[in-house]
Amino acid sequence: MQTRALGPFTVSAIGLGCMNICHAYGPPVPDAQAERLLLAALDDGVTHFDTAALYGFGASETTVGRVLSAHRSRFTLASKCGMQGVDVKGDGQLVRVIDGRPATLRATCEAALKRLRTDVIDLYYLHRWDKQVPIEESVGALGDLVRAGKIRAVGLSEVSAATLRKAHAEHPIAAVQTEYSLWTRNPEIAVLEACREIGAAFVAFSPTGRGFLAGDLDPAAFDAKDIRRSMPRFAAPHWAANQRLLPAYRAIAAEAGCTPAQLSLAWVLHKAPHIHALPGTANIEHLRENNRAADVVLSADLMQRLDALINPRTVSGSRYSDQANREVDTEVFAD
């Protein structure tokens, strides 16, 4: 596996997002399956594992800690704060809350360290910018955690270039994590270049388009709690329009000698050397398939054809619901 710089760390160019084992795309997988997946990733050369307090309301961090803490020296550990489950009504039911207050971030970090069974988190992201709290205050609190030895580097997720620069002026930002794939190009507006200018890595989550670019999806078969059910691109009439992009896309994958999933990941890695691909899966075969994408070489002609085929003008529908769009800070393309 090729490696790339992730802030002060050198990691595999393709990491593993640890959301899928317990959150967002269906019910949690059995503990034994999650353990096999994480250990298989480590054995297959993955050295960048990414989780969050939000995923399974702590379940992902707990699993990562239980399975990988014995191998802590072999990988770079990333997690996130600022969005987590909170018992708002006091009835034991957790709801997702965005909270970037310094005291909350410190408490979330302490809880994460326990769940992850580690003394320090290598890269700690602000999962969402809490727009009720100046970004400088939230990032300043994360800077305090660096100085306290609780974390080693600070990251941001789903922020604009302007917010990134404000944050970086308060404390160095090592990485920005935002959705990026052929069918989600928002980072190309300004954030990719801002990351390059300040020397931050860019971590592309959902690089396979939440599975759209990886295989045959049927939104009607999604689990009742699958977050894609709320995403316009997977609903009528957008879904039918987007499916029309796939035959030509699959033909390009065959021409490149790789699978559609590998093509999506290779495209991300070919866009710039400071970009990392962070797919997620609960399937070991998919994991290994994804990792082989680091070996795929795409010609300039193929890259241009992919860019022309799937882009903001040809993809139908917003990537998020109206509520989710309000919660992020990323730039958007004009209609």
238 in a structural domain = no
CA geometry: angle 47, 78, 129, nearest 5 deg: 145
For residue 23, what pLDDT band results from cuts at 50, 70 and 90?
A: confident
Query: Is the whole-model pTM more than 0.75?
Result: yes
333 in a structural domain = no
For residue 118, what pLDDT band results from cuts at 50, 70 and 90?
A: very high
User: What one-letter code names the amino acid at 214?
Assistant: A
Region 73-95: mean pLDDT is 91
243 in a structural domain = no
Identified catalytic residue from 55, 124, 125, 249: 55
pLDDT computed for residue 91 by the predictor: 85
334 in a structural domain = no
314 in a structural domain = no
273 in a structural domain = yes
CATH of residue 200: 3.20.20.100
pLDDT computed for residue 137 by the predictor: 98
How would DSSP label each residue in 103-132?
Answer: HHHHHHHHHHHHHHT-S-EEEEEESS--TT
Whether 55 is a known active-site residue: answer yes
SS3 34: helix
User: What one-letter code names the amino acid at 79?
Assistant: S
Q: Which tokens in the block code for residue 267?
A: 């495209």
Containing structural domain, residue 70: 3-217+259-298
Percent of the chain with pLDDT over 70: 100
117 in a structural domain = yes
Region 32-52: mean pLDDT is 98
* Cα distance between the two ends of the chain: 39
- The tens digit of pLDDT for each residue in 298-334 reads 999 999 999 999 999 999 999 999 999 999 999 999 8
User: What one-letter code names the amino acid at 184?
Assistant: T
- The tens digit of pLDDT for each residue in 272-290 reads 999 999 999 999 999 999 9
- Mean pLDDT over all residues of the chain? 96
Q: Across the beta sheet with 16-17, what order do the strands follow?
A: 16-17, 48-50, 76-81, 121-126, 151-157, 173-179, 201-205, 275-278
Total domains, the chain: 1
Residue 116 has pLDDT above 80, yes or no: yes
93 in a structural domain = yes
Q: Would you say 180 and 162 are in contact if contact means Cβ atoms under 8 Å apart? A: no
Q: Would you say 38 and 64 are in contact if contact means Cβ atoms under 8 Å apart? A: yes
pLDDT computed for residue 90 by the predictor: 84
pLDDT computed for residue 89 by the predictor: 83
pLDDT computed for residue 330 by the predictor: 96
- The tens digit of pLDDT for each residue in 228-280 reads 999 999 999 999 999 999 999 999 999 999 999 999 999 999 999 999 999 99
